[in-house]
Amino acid sequence: GAVAGLVVDDGHVVDADAVVVAMGPWTHALHGDHVDCKKWKDVSHFPPIVGTKYHAVLLQSPRVLSQAVFFQGLGDPEVYPRPDGEVYVTGFPDRAAVVADLPGETEVRDDVCDRLIHAMNVLSADLRDVPVNRKQACHLPSAPDGLPVLGKLHVDGAYVATGHGCWGILLAPATGEALADLVVTGQAKHLDIAPFAPTRFSRVF
């Protein structure tokens, strides 16, 4: 089997001889019944990606804070200030699990967000009882060994890029360059991606 294209939601087929699957914590959907290819459905070749759910609250500080701070205890909150005075606070991760939420429909639990707000009330005079601009949640994708998953899948023309955890934005430029080289030339010229190959899981699972 080889990649011939993609079928989008309205049934339209987008012709393609190469597809890079960058689906983050939803990578497990690769081996769903909607894929009409016996070779593709051999799930032993797919990276067993799970998601770790993190909640976050965006708080409005009365002044612009200048330092990111990482606490131990009280849910291990991480605090990231922004230039407009807004502060992104995250912590209290769930256990890693296969993600059931659909993209854009991740459940936001008020009780976890309230714990983050309480933690800031205890830890920071600047963030005590400040306005809450937003509550949100996301899933951080990871593989069992903690490394990203980059490279060719077992069907010709199919590639994957996932498993970056909380470092997805930081690692995106290098990942994009490596995958572009791999698709066009057959090898990643500037980065050794062999340790991240998805085939490493077919030997273990």
- For the beta sheet containing 149-152, the strands, ordered from the edge strand earlier in sequence to the opposite edge, are 19-21, 158-162, 149-152
How does pLDDT run across 133-152, given as a tens digit for each residue?
A: 999 999 999 999 999 999 99
Residues 6+ positions from 18 with CB-CB distance below 8 Å:
3, 157, 158, 159, 183
How does pLDDT run across 97-115, given as a tens digit for each residue?
A: 999 988 899 999 999 999 9
Do residues 107 and 115 make contact, with C-beta atoms less than 8 angstroms apart? no
pTM of whole model > 0.75?
A: yes
- Classify residue 202 by its DSSP letter: T
- Classify residue 39 by its DSSP letter: T
Is residue 205 over pLDDT 60?
A: no
- Residue 105 CB coordination number (10 Å): 7
What single letter denotes the amino acid at residue 187? Q
